[in-house]
Amino acid sequence: MLITTYGIVIRERSIGENDKFIDVLTKDLGVIELSAKGVKKITSKSFSSAQLFAYSKFCLNKKNDRYYINSAEPVHMFYNLRLDVESFALASYFCEIILHTITSEQSANSVTRLFLNTLYFLEEGKHPKRLLKSIFELRLVSEIGMMPDILACHSCLCYQTPVMYFKIDKGMIFCENCYNRAGDAVEINSSVLHAIRYICLTDFEKLWSFKLSDNAQKNLSQITEKYILSHTERHFKTLDFYKELENTFNG
């Protein structure tokens, strides 16, 4: 049986001289492992499509619960991500998150779209990386059913006070009148709160079209990062690497 789907390579492992296993985030089948025979030969028709970050149309064979590449047509290669070490590190972190949050054999259309758009903006280099990171982290968890409850104060249901408190492990916000009950919550100002609500709830087309001051971006980045680490209960090695670079480049 032949299956056609679109997907992005998020991990590659060499097998011997000519072959590879690649993990691919696909729209229709979630994250699947593909056996890619002969793709390391430069003459292979699927050579480009089997590279990290390549986005391609794949035609697959399924035999004994394993997928094999029948043919592949590259759509966009994201070559430029390799030219900037910080972008490369951030894209690798996104790949690691996807590997540990998206399962196989279920549609991952919205996550694929989120990841593709994020890579386009990262490659283009016009959006602040820190903001792309926050949008990806928070929207991804929202898309997979772990959206924080950010509509109103968890206690009194008021929409907003000048300062609010975000209890990251519970995914709840509290107003300034109720914050004693929140315990170890993080203080957030109104622009950070607005950004959090916007990233979780806005239409996909408008997701990247908002501005935020540098300070608010820093604050937001700490919050979205803690949120995804806490709710996936994971440690990402690629995140440590990205943060080392970020400190080196941005002080």
Distance, in Å, from the CA atom of 162 to the CA atom of 22, rounded to the nearest integer, reads 48
The CA–CA distances, whole Å, from 13 to 29, 103, 241 equal 20, 19, 20
Q: Name the residue nearer to Zn ion (CB basis): 170 or 218.
A: 170
When asked if residue 8 is in the footprint of Zn ion (CB under 5 A), the reply is no
- Judged by CB under 5 A, which stretch of 15-23, 140-148, 169-177, 243-251 contacts Zn ion? 169-177
Using the Cα atoms of residue 172, residue 175, residue 179 and residue 184 in order, give the sign of their dihedral.
Answer: positive
Asked whether the beta carbons of 194 and 211 are under 8 A apart, the reply is no
For the bound state, the minimum distance from the C-beta of residue 164 to Zn ion, rounded and expressed in Å, comes to 9
Q: What does the per-residue mask of binding to Zn ion show for 69-88, with x meaning CB under 5 A?
A: --------------------
When asked if residue 150 is in the footprint of Zn ion (CB under 5 A), the reply is no
Backbone angles phi, psi at 210, to 5 degrees: -140, 155
> Per residue in 143-166, is it b (16+ CB within 10 Å) or e — as a string?
bbebbbebebbbbeeeeebeebbb
- Judged by CB under 5 A, which stretch of 119-127, 171-179, 193-201, 206-214 contacts Zn ion? 171-179
When asked if residue 132 is in the footprint of Zn ion (CB under 5 A), the reply is no
For the bound state, the minimum distance from the C-beta of residue 153 to Zn ion, rounded and expressed in Å, comes to 3
Which position among 50, 54, 89, 153 is part of the footprint of Zn ion (CB under 5 A)?
153
When asked if residue 110 is in the footprint of Zn ion (CB under 5 A), the reply is no
Which position among 5, 155, 202, 222 is part of the footprint of Zn ion (CB under 5 A)?
155
CB contact set of 196 (below 8 Å; sequence gap of 6+): 138, 148, 150, 166, 188, 220, 223, 224
Q: Name the residue nearer to Zn ion (CB basis): 180 or 215.
A: 180
- Site of interaction with Zn ion (CB under 5 A): 153, 155-156, 175, 178
